[in-house]
Each structure stands twice: as structure tokens, then as C-alpha cells.
Structure 1
Amino acid sequence: MSLEITLVGGPTAVLDFDGFRIVIDPTFDPPQSYPREDVPITLVKTTGPAFTPEALEPVHLVLASHEHEDNLDHLGRRFLANSRKGLTTVEAAAKFGENVAGMEPYESVSLPMPDGRELRVTAVPALHGPDGVWQVSGPVIGFVLTGTGVPTTYISGDNSWLEVIDEVQQKCGPIQVAVLFVGGARFEALGGDYLTLSNEEAVKAAAVLEGATIVPVHADSWAHVSQTSSELRELFEQEGLGDRIRALEPGQSTVLG
């Protein structure tokens, strides 16, 4: 089975397993600001998506790692609400209809694919920032996708902890494809610590994930992103890992055999 990954923008990407199409962390709003009430920050979207929601149809499954606007904006929430099937955190799912189910870490569900095979989706943990931050940022999950002929695919969500990635590799691996949320997201008002993987930590994550192909997302379209995927590709090349990364710009695709 081949896997085609298309970057829509920010954390939003399409994973197409031979016609079974998954959208992760849908964000389709035009550029705008999102003041937060719980913390003294404002999320600023700088660039709209490369594709409209309609251009991505048919979509069989939507995966939402959590509810922050840079991972699930206004139009993204509508997209999830109207999806055939959505999976997200238990807390987020409670705000949607029966088509959206909540998952706890290491809970799994199996979904039928058009060719008769099943795709198994396992929720995995994610920690959104350092100690003292992730506890108040709200629950976040990642996902691991497996099945007959399906490359074992890890979607990290907004996780900044290498220990979490190592645990996922040990429990669900070996991972063959890793969609890592990178970009070194940070806010000075929250101490300036990275809330997603920095480029330097992404290189370390690649070592933990051994031979996995790395596809970075969440490195564009938002003002709080401090590093780009092209900079990450350069760093991988400097470290002799250039053959393991597929760094995309919004609108670009890569096919993994």
C-alpha cells in the first residue's frame, strides 16, 4: 500500500492510503487572530490553507489532536462536526455529535477501508510543552495507524517530549512513517519554552524513531512558529539524515511506497 501525504498548511495534512483519505488537525480559516481567555496570549494565523475543505473530498476520517485554534480553528471545527468519522480527545469529543468519538491514550478502534481491509487507529500520549505548561494547556493526543499492508504511521500531535516518542516507539513500533509536529512553537508570555518539537529535538526524535521517514508539519502559517521545515531539512542534511526527511511546503505532496 502506498501512502501519499499532502500538506494543507500548519498542522493540517491529508494522508491518503490508496484512496482511504484522512485529514489531521483541520485548520481552514483565513488569516486572523484568536485571543485566548485562559492564558495571556493571542494566536495569529498568518496564511490561509492551500486547499479548501471541499477540494479534499472524499474524506473518510478526521483526526484532531486537541482543540487549540492552531490545530482546530473555526472552519476546522465545522469540518470535524460534519465529517463521516472523527477521532479526538475525550474532552473535545463531548462538544461534537455522535460521529466524533473521544479516545484515551492506547485505546484503539478499527475502521473498514474501501478495499475490505481494516485500519487500526491507536491514540497515543502527547505532552504540549514543559512541566508547568502541559498540565494547563489541556489534553492532547497523537495517533498511530496500522493495518495489513499499511505502513505503521505515527502522528505526534503537539508533543515536545522525546520520552513520549520513545514510549510510542516501544509500545507501537517500529514506526515507519512519523508525521512530527515541529516548528518550535513558543510564546514569551508562557516562558518562551518550546510547545512543539524544535528542529534540534526533531533530529533527536529521528534517532529514537530509527529508520522512520520523517514528515514535518506545523512549521508554517502561524506567528508563534519559530522554525521552518526547510531549516529542518537543512539540519537533517547536515546530520547525514537527508534521505529520511520529506519536508513539504503547503500544497505539496510526497508519496511513500
Structure 2
Amino acid sequence: MGSLCGLVLVLMWTLGVNGKDVSSLISRSMFEKLLKHRNDDICPARGFYTYEAFINAAKSFRAFGTSGNRDTRKREIAAFLAQTSHETTGLPDGPYAWGYCFKEEQNPTDYCVPDPEWPCVPNKNYHGRGPIQISYNFNYGPAGKAIRSNLLKNPSLVASNPTISFKTALWFWMTPQSLKPSSHDVITGVWKPSAADSAAGRVPGYGVVTNIINGIECGIGSTPGGEGRIGFYKRYCSIFGISPGKNLDCYSQKPFGG
């Protein structure tokens, strides 16, 4: 019976608690309402970030948006879209409605660092691309392995294939990073702070997600970046009809590893 229970738990994690994908919580019309300006002429990524690509990519990460109760599942989708909207916003945040305007980093530099496991391919650039603006060879490599696409050799796929683009962002969201929990575990309430986390001010809530994604914004009080991430999140939670929860900022948190 023990092994059977273990198998059931694995299947629940793989398929999601309710066996459904995120389309049961976010319809096409809601997606358009959340990201309403992404296809405007002013946005370089217009036409790229489609609802179909988002839903198809999410099917490769079945625990995304399917873990916990209904409000928790909605909160995770809102948090993911908020963080990625801030990463790709096309104008100063304003009404927090200009997310997903860019698919590539503006004015990129060389993001290749020596790494024996994920060596850079000559003449390839690993600058920020996609919803999470994935960058560096040590992220492109494992992300590509996870989604079964050689992104070290073909990093441009993240800016040319919308499903792959969303998959890289979801991989980063679902995967614990060095010294950091996954954003998924934080926003769904699975992560519990250690004694070191508590001493560093890292408490459960959306603020820790920001700390995971861009810790340099944390521990220095209010910043435009931090305010932008929170602004998007509050707007999206309002559209979903849910509370954003507590501890939305990381202003008093030390970055992970700091």
C-alpha cells in the first residue's frame, strides 16, 4: 500500500490536483483582459505571446495552476503573469496593463560565463528572452534539457517559438534555483522558511517570489521595480476576484545567499 500511495502522490503532482489544465481557470477572454495591450502596434512582441502558446506550455508543467484550492491556483497564475509582465513591460507601469510587450532584452550584453556543464556555443548570445527574460548559458542549458530543446545551440528559439518561450518561463518558475525555493512552492504555500530565512526577513508571500526572480530589488526599501511587480499582481488578482494575500513586498528581505 505504501508504494501505491507514493505512486498516487506522484501522479497528482504530475497531472495536477484536479487533473485539469489552467484553461479551466483562465479563459481566452480573461487572458486578453489581463494582457490587453500586448498586441498593440507599439509593442515589438505584438502577435507573439498567444493564449494557445501559454496553455500548451502549461501542459508540460502540470502542477502549475493546479495545486491547492481554487483561490491558490488562481493566485499562482496571477503571480506568474504579474512577474513576467513586469519583466516584459513596454511602458512605465502606469495602469499595469502593458505587460508582454517585449520578447527580447533591450541593449543586451554578453551573457556567456565559463561553465563546464553548460558551455556556450560559439557565436550564440544568451541575453534575456521570453516572459521571464531567461539569460545566461547556465539557464538556457538546463531549461532546454527540461523542455527537450537544445537551447544552448538554438537560444533564438525562445524569441521565435512562443510555446518554447512560455516553457522557459514556466521552467524557471517551477524549478528551485541555487539556494532558492521555486516560485511555485512559495506562492502555493508549500515553502516554509528556515531559521536563516526568518532571520533574513523572508516570510511566505509574493515578496519572496520577487526575491527569487530579482533579489537585487530586495532589502533596500521601496523601488520602482518592486512597486511594478506588486502593481501588476494586485491588478491581476482583482480581475481573478481573489485576495493577493500577505507579505507582497521584499523591501526588508535580504536576498537569498546574502
Q: TM-score, normalised by structure 2?
A: 0.30
Greater helix share, structure number: 2
Greater strand share, structure number: 1
From the CA coordinates, give the structure whose radius of gyration is larger.
2
Q: TM-score, normalised by structure 1?
A: 0.30
